[in-house]
Structure 1
Amino acid sequence: MLTGVFINGITIVVGSLLGALLRNISEEMKETVTKGIGLGVVVLGIQMAIPTQSFTLIMISLSIGALIGEALKIETFMNRFGLFLQKRFSKTESTFAEGFVTASLIFVIGSLGIIGAIQSGATGDHETLYTKSVMDGFMAIMLTASFGYGVLFSSIPVFLYQGSIAVLANVLVQLIPANFMDELMNEISAIGGLMILGIGLNLLQVTKLRVSNFLPGIIVLIILLSLKLIL
């Protein structure tokens, strides 16, 4: 059930270690590579967000989620956790926390991770997570070259997040109607796309959005869609 999740985590670790070998490239090259990733992430976010059938619901969920995230200070917590890891494992890297947070958000948020984890848990099909693993491994190389070893530790939330979804899917798959599952996955992909878009804009240094604080919006969306089904 967790084979795909393990592979995904391992490819991030391997990609990070390979990326560490490129740390000596010029700052100009790192900046160009990082912004190139940012452009790709922006396009990915737009592609994910466009197919939504309930844009109003997405906006309501995102807004309520932002209120919850700001109240809980999720972004602050993630940065503090990243700084703790920096002090523990890499005292000389000022970009450690930034790399951890950025990579965690890029690897965690997205339809591939959610759908792939559900497929793994519900059917034992790991093909989607294998595809995501290839993408994440390459992304980890580039991000580590720019931000350092903080990217490596993003494999921890990836494993916990996708592993939890896989286990939950294994339990709930027979309790949720197929048509509702399809709608749910489409809208989760859309709200995740907006967050991915924010990450891309941050990488391009266009904005400084606290994207982590939008994460509760996914839970709000699930609740609202469930209420819509019941009513």
Structure 2
Amino acid sequence: MPIGPIINSLAIISGGYLGALLQNRIPKKLCSAMPLTFGVASIGMGISSITRIDSLPPVILSLIVGSALGELINLEKGIEWCANKVQKPIERLFSKRDTTHLSPDYMEKFVGIVVLFSASGTGIFGSLNEGMTGDTSLLISKSFLDLFTATIFATSLGYIVMIVAIPQFLIMITLYFCAGSIMPFTASFMIGDFSAVGGIIMIATGLRISGIKSFPIANMLPALLIVMPISAIWNIFLG
């Protein structure tokens, strides 16, 4: 059962509802300061995942090759393009009800959180990891982050934040079931290197959330697809 994806999506729905409900009661100072804590928490989860590493060379090679592939196909821009396609349907859905919120800045923020919640390295890695190992700890930890992140965003965007749970759940559940089908072909050292690559991407995600450095997280994601084959080849010839 995909416990992690379900809990994570419910966290966004709950956070979006609470943030919109209490938007006039949450201090502005808190809204501006909390993303730093969210970023540090993501970095902490990343460090925890890196400790499972089996061999460093295939991990580094996967990151380099995967990031190069992501840059060549412009994966991050593609995800942003898909997210922008959400804008018009949302405008048509909500404009009849509350046109005061649909400023360009409003929709720009909304598109931003669609990318943040649905295409983050932590979510993708966590879904694949749970599908392969049954370990829900990463996605449950992410759920705490998403609960409060959704709450903070909803203070300015309103109830529309809850809708982001839909694309996020669809992506996570797809990755979860795909991961389960490849589990019989993996070994413990491959999963360890996979966890390490995901951990490094989570650290980069934390730095981005904190506003320290805007890493192209989406362009690094292909590394998750190639790390296990590279790890297997490395173990056969050089392990």
TM-score (norm 2): 0.76
Q: Can you list the C-alpha shifts for 1:152-181, whole angstroms capped at 9, x where unaligned? A: 425524433443432452x444x42xxx52
2:56 is matched with which residue?
55
State which drifts further: 80-89 or 206-215: 80-89
Which has more radius of gyration?
Answer: 2
Deviation at 1:85, TM superposition (A): 1.8
Give the 3 Å change call, closer, same or farther, for CA 22–207 of structure 1 in structure 2. Answer: farther
CA–CA distance in structure 2, aligned partners of residues 230 and 44 of structure 1 = 30
Q: Can you list the C-alpha shifts for 1:19-40, whole angstroms capped at 9, x where unaligned? A: 3334443332112111111111
State which drifts further: 56-65 or 12-21: 12-21
CA–CA distance in structure 1, aligned partners of residues 234 and 216 of structure 2 = 29
1:9 is matched with which residue?
9
Q: Can you list the C-alpha shifts for 1:168-204, whole angstroms capped at 9, x where unaligned? A: 52x444x42xxx5211221111111111111111111
CA–CA distance in structure 2, aligned partners of residues 79 and 150 of structure 1 = 17
Q: Which runs of 5+ in 1 are unaligned?
A: 121-127
For the Cα contact (< 8 Å) 2:13–2:163, is it kept in 1? yes
Deviation at 1:102, TM superposition (A): 1.9
Look up the SS of the partner of 1:95 in the other structure: helix
CA–CA distance in structure 1, aligned partners of residues 187 and 12 of structure 2 = 29
Q: How many pairs are equivalent?
A: 217
Alignment pair present for 1:144 and 2:145: no
1:41-52 matches, cutoff 5 A:
41-52=42-53
1:1-231 matches, cutoff 5 A:
1-2=1-2, 5-24=5-24, 25-89=26-90, 91-92=102-103, 93=106, 94-104=108-118, 105=120, 107-110=122-125, 112-119=126-133, 128-129=135-136, 131=137, 134-148=140-154, 149=160, 152-153=163-164, 155-169=166-180, 171-173=181-183, 175-176=184-185, 180-229=186-235, 231=237
Q: Can you list the C-alpha shifts for 1:61-100, whole angstroms capped at 9, x where unaligned? A: 1111111101111111122222222343254323112212
Q: Percent identity?
A: 19
CA–CA distance in structure 2, aligned partners of residues 8 and 146 of structure 1 = 16
Give the 3 Å change call, closer, same or farther, for CA 4–206 of structure 1 in structure 2. Answer: closer
For the Cα contact (< 8 Å) 1:8–1:132, is it kept in 2? no
Give the 3 Å change call, closer, same or farther, for CA 32–22 of structure 1 in structure 2. Answer: farther
CA–CA distance in structure 2, aligned partners of residues 12 and 136 of structure 1 = 11
Give the 3 Å change call, closer, same or farther, for CA 172–46 of structure 1 in structure 2. Answer: closer
State which drifts further: 137-146 or 55-64: 137-146
One-letter amino acid matched to 1:214: M
Q: Which runs of 5+ in 2 are unaligned?
A: 92-101, 155-159
Deviation at 1:208, TM superposition (A): 1.1
CA–CA distance in structure 1, aligned partners of residues 4 and 48 of structure 2 = 24
After superposition, the CA RMSD in angstroms is 2.7
One-letter amino acid matched to 2:127: G
